[in-house]
Structure 1
Amino acid sequence: MQLDFMPSRTMTLYMAKMFALRIVAVLLMLVIVLMMLDLLGESGKILEFPGNGQAQLLTYAGLRFPQLVSRFLPYSVLLATIITLMTLNQNSEVIAMKASGLSAHQVLAPLFMVAAVTSLVTFGFNERVVTRATATLKAWQAVDYGKIPGESEVRPNVWLKDGDNIMFAKAVFGEGTAMRMQDVNWYQRDPSGMVTRIVSAKTATFANPGWKLEDAESFDVQSAQSKKLATPVILGKGVMPVQVLISKTDADAESLFRLSRSISAIREAGYRTSELDAKWWHKLSGPLSALLMPLLGAVAGFGLARSGTLFVRAVIGMALGFAYFVVDNAALAMGNFGGYPPFLAAWAPFFLFLLIGETVLIRTEE
């Protein structure tokens, strides 16, 4: 039996089912509680917009729910690991499994199997659901919970520098030469920085160079007079589409494929992309944190279940798990401002705690 990584089929299904049910139960408990607290904080802002009501609150909950699931699923796997192993230990089931010839790694094998499936599901869920919900929610928050934008790939509230002048768009849609702006204001400034003229338009399209503003209106600050421009006007010749990517590329709201395209465009323009590179790698390493949790929480499943020893082991398992999340966030922050190379910032915490977890398990149980 020592040559088989998995225990018997019956034992594997028994432990896998127990572990999976506890993951779902813990995740639902965390998400429901956090959703209620989040709604208490945001409901006032949502209902403040005229016409918003219960439907908009449900819409917000539907957009926020995937974010909470994605963020707290690894914590749920950690807590479910500790609860499952403590239960097995208290019922002397771990002792029975080890007495039958199973090693500590074989006892944990069904948990690793469920955690691996969880990691794959998390990656797909992040790519297909979370990124779209995040993009829609941020665009909706940019209009103060007014009308939800019809397109999901929207960059809200974009400020761009055009030499001494400033260009602002309430929303930017599309990419490259097909990019277009909505609710555009172009602020002409004198050398001292004072605004002398404001040109406003509902839409603007890229004219290469510059942006063509349709049905524009010009307001002269000094005379306080406005006039309608009879023909389209081209302004912002110093503003290029890549500047929008640089200022408004949000890794949390973009899929892995789309983020790759944004990084390539920014890199081709000669700008630094280390922050986005680190987040690109973290889209791969982040979901794998669920695979690490059974190993870090494994210390709770062994040892004597008396005299408070089991409780101490559970605390150690929780401490290891939460330490991983702290180090992971710190490394990602270091990678964002260039302190660590992007690959190292995303993967170093995973491999570090993989070694720590293996060392603790081997030294204490193997």
Structure 2
Amino acid sequence: MSKTAKPPRFVLLRYLSGALLSRVLLCGAVLVGLLEILALLEQTTPILQRHLGLHGILTYAGMRLPFLLAGALPLSLLIGALVMLTQMTLGSETAILQASGLSITRLYKHLIPATLLVGVMGVVLDDQVTPRSEQALAAWWNRTDPSPENGHSFWFHEGQEVTRVAYVADGGNMLSGLDIYSRDQNGLLQDVIHAARADYTRANGWILHDLKRVQVKENSADRLPQEDQKAWHTSLHPWDFIRLSAENPPLSSGTILGMLRGRLPSDSSPGFLQAGLLERFLRPASLLVLLLIAMPVIYIPPRTGTRSWTPVWCLGAGLLFIIVQGMLRAMGNAGLLPPPVATIPGLLIFTLGAVTVLLRNEAK
């Protein structure tokens, strides 16, 4: 063997990784394509009603792509692993590998690097790409809305202030119907400001218009003279209001940490934010569990071939894992479970179940 030749284990690692990644990417492309079609079937009519034409349809599809891809990755890995392992089993490749001394444990280890690569890609999509694309989509959708007054109101807190906004317009550059409640260090109400609207410009920042103000003292409340306009000293930018006006928008880890530490405004509970952060960085571990769930297909009897129900059972178990993780996460978001309990037990339970199935098949 020449000095430049790679050891056989690296050749096998490269072959298995390439086979898994190619099938995961193919399954991901099919799933994302189907999801894009379903999304466009729902949104094409509103886009055309806004006279955005073909450019609007393509813009919507492009901005929505990272969100759909991140959501399709777990199912893509599950189906891709099932297809690859089933093809290798029916083609007698796994039998040859086992005859050459490759155990089920080593086969799983050879598939870990590709799975972790997919998991890291999912983390990057969830943490950096998707929040930016979804925020840009929400701003574009708001900017092209002919009736922004039909938007829903929302509340948020920033420091000692609690604010209500009736609706957002012009891509976040105009706010309507503001109620700002200022509190002291003890949480007691000090000041109430109602503004008809607020406009943002890069030169002047936020300007409140048509202000009505009530100052609250210990035993009285004084109505102050009405003001036409006043500067609003806030750290928020138009894109922050677009994020706050959206329902459960994707958040980056930096934004979540800023909310938890009180540096950024938030309309979510700490448990919701902690569960989302923990689940995001456990994404590679959840994909490793899905890979483990797909492994029993290597025990398909040669005579059974494509008539075997093993891939179907593995697919069902993987879907059940995804559903259970989603349910636990929802309970964590609602504050019914602590963030670690809402994310980790599902991984452990399905890992133990998959290992039990593999050991039983290995013992036969």
Q: Which residue is 2:333 aligned to? A: 336
Deviation track 1:278-334 (CA, whole Å, cap 9, x = no partner) reads 112111123432222221100112231323686211112101111110110110111
Is the contact between residue 119 and residue 287 of structure 2 (CA under 8 Å) also seen in structure 1? yes
- What is the identity, as a one-letter code, of the residue corresponding to 1:260? L
Distance 1:263 1:69 in 2: 27
State how far apart, in whole Å, the 2-side matches of 1:285 and 1:345 are: 12
User: Contact 1:158 / 1:171 at 8 angstroms: preserved in 2?
Assistant: no
Q: Pick from 347, 350, 359 the counterpart of residue 350 of structure 1.
A: 347
> Within 5 A, what are the aligned runs for 1:41-190?
41-50=42-51, 52-143=52-143, 145=145, 158-160=153-155, 167-170=165-168, 182-186=174-178
CA distance in 2, matches of 1:318, 1:357: 12
Partner of 1:365: 362
Letter in 2 for 1:138: A
Q: Is the Cα–Cα contact under 8 Å of residues 211 and 227 in structure 2 kept in the other structure?
A: no
The equivalent residue for 2:19 is 18
Shift of 1:214: 4.1
Residue identity opposite 1:305 in structure 2: P
Q: Deviations over 1:59-95 (max 9, x none)?
A: 1011111111100111011001111111111111111
Amino acid at match of 1:203: D
Deviation string for 1:90-124 (max 9, x for gaps)? 11111111111111111222222210111112111
The structural deviation recorded for 1:217 is 8.7
Pairwise mapping of residues 23-38 of structure 1 onto structure 2 (< 5 A)?
Answer: 23-38=24-39
Q: Tell me which moved more, 346-355 or 85-94.
A: 346-355
1:201 equivalent to 2:193? Answer: no
Cα offsets for 1:156-204 (capped at 9, x unmatched): 85434999x964241699xxxxxx972322489xxxxxxxxx9533427
Give the gaps of 5 or more residues in structure 2.
1-6, 181-193, 213-225
The corresponding residue for 2:288 is: 291
In structure 2, the residue matched to 1:226 is none
For 1:59 and 1:335, locate their aligned partners in 2 and report how far apart those are by CA, in whole Å: 34
2:256 paired with 1:253: no
Give, in whole Å, the separation in 2 of the partners of 1:333 and 1:49.
35
Task: Provide the rounded CA distance (Å) in 2 between the counterparts of 1:159 and 1:302.
Answer: 54
CA distance in 2, matches of 1:268, 1:231: 27
Unaligned residue ranges in structure 1 (runs of 5+): 1-5, 148-155, 174-179, 189-197, 206-210, 219-228
Counterpart CA distance in 1 for 2:9 and 2:346 is: 33
Find the partner of 1:232 among 229, 232, 245.
Answer: 229
Is the 2:135–2:243 contact (alpha carbons within 8 Å) kept by the matching residues of 1? no
C-alpha contact 1:279 1:346 (8 A) present in aligned 2: no
Amino acid at match of 2:123: F
Query: Which residue identity lines up with residue 184 of structure 1 in the other structure?
Result: S
Match in the other structure for 1:223: none
Distance 2:86 2:29 in 1: 20
3-state SS in 2 of match to 1:288 = helix
Which shifted more, 82-91 or 340-349?
A: 340-349
Give me the TM-score of the superposition, normalised by structure 1.
Answer: 0.74
CA distance in 2, matches of 1:245, 1:69: 22
The answer to whether the Cα contact below 8 Å between 1:157 and 1:168 also exists between their aligned partners in 2 is yes
Residue equivalent to 2:273? 276
Q: Which of 284-293 and 77-86 deviates more?
A: 284-293
| Residues 299-310 of structure 1 aligned to structure 2 (within 5 Å) | 299-307=296-304
What letter is aligned with 2:126?
N
- Maintained 8 Å contact 1:46/1:144: no
User: Aligned partners of 2:146 and 2:136: how far apart in 1?
Assistant: 12
1:122-164 Cα distance to aligned partner (Å, 9 max, x none):
11122221111122223334456579xxxxxxxx85434999x
Answer yes or no: is the 8 Å Cα contact 1:245–1:266 preserved in 2. Answer: no
Relative to structure 1, is the Cα distance of residues 213 and 14 closer, same or farther in structure 2, using a 3 angstrom cutoff? closer
In the alignment, residue 272 of structure 2 is paired with which amino acid? E
Contact map agreement 2:20 2:84 (CA 8 A) in 1: yes
Look up the equivalent residue of 1:304 and give its one-letter code: P
